[in-house]
Amino acid sequence: MKLIKPPKLNAGDVIGLISPASSPDDLNKINKGVSYLESIGYRVELGKNVGLQEGYLAGTDEQRLEDLHYMFESKHVKAIFSIRGGYGSTRLLDKINYNLIKRNPKIFVGYSDINALQLAFLKKCGLVTFAGPMVAVDFHEQVSEFTEEIFWRTITSNKKIGRLKNPSDEKFFVLRKGRGVGNLIGGNLSIFTSLVGTEYLPPFKTPVFIFEEINEPPYKIDRMFNQIRLAKLFKNAQAIILGRFVNCYETDNSKSSFTLNEVILEYFEKMKIPVIYNVKHGHIKENITIPFGLQCIVNGSRGFIEIPESGVV
């Protein structure tokens, strides 16, 4: 697969904001996020349908798609940030004009439900995208300095990203030693799993998988990892990176359950490739930005993760 890296973001550039999935309950969070972006020197353009509500969606499929296409087509918009996740991105996948996106590669940022679009862009266009902060989730209140530093450096510098580090240099937990090199793919576990068997999952021959999740009990984590296993997607994996699994425990104390760690050990402890856990990526305030598609080196024996190239040009 030939990768396309988007042009880097420069001071004063226009950032387009869209809601491809759900809308925030409090629209004032959008205003606060816009104020933050403007305070650090960027101009902002809101999609014309931002703020709409259609059930659990941020407007109809057609309205959300209109904003997505507009931002990629507009020559003055240099990056596209998602306002929040939620649900709805997968409903757009068979309606998107991928040729439009391929002709106008831009920085595209989000995580959680937005992961569906990122995987589809990688598959259909080869576009490198970024699992990073969202406007009404991460930018509406005090922003983590850790999140800020790695995010803005990743999308504004064409130097190699280098080694990924946890906040306060907290060590990664090495589940399996060894060294693996491949292209980063994955993201939100439930979104990734929902694309198995569709035409929107990138077919890397040597993937380095990264997964994160929120609010799913261990039996559902088990089911999703098992589906990936049954689909033989782990077969060519060069390494596994496990981000944060937030609130992934059984909430009903009357039920017997494995713990999250027991489920993870079941699937990954006996693999013959490096597996690294406790990587600060996912639904957390201090969040490592992940560039999907780039080459990644995982060294379980020495406990580091490195991206030896830039995410932008």
Which residues have a catalytic role annotated?
A: 112, 212, 283
Would you report the helix, strand and coil content of the chain in percent, each value rounded to 5? 30, 25, 45
Identify each DSSP E strand in the chain by its residue range: 14-18, 43-46, 77-82, 107-110, 129-131, 162-164, 173-176, 179-188, 207-214, 239-246, 275-277, 290-292, 295-299, 304-307
User: Rg of the chain's alpha carbons, rounded to an integer?
Assistant: 19
Q: Which residues are bridge partners to 188 per DSSP? A: 212
Spatial strand order in the sheet of 43-46: 43-46, 14-18, 77-82, 107-110, 129-131, 290-292
Whole-angstrom distance, CA of residue 20 vs CA of residue 114: 7
For residue 160, how far is the Cα from the chain centroid?
19
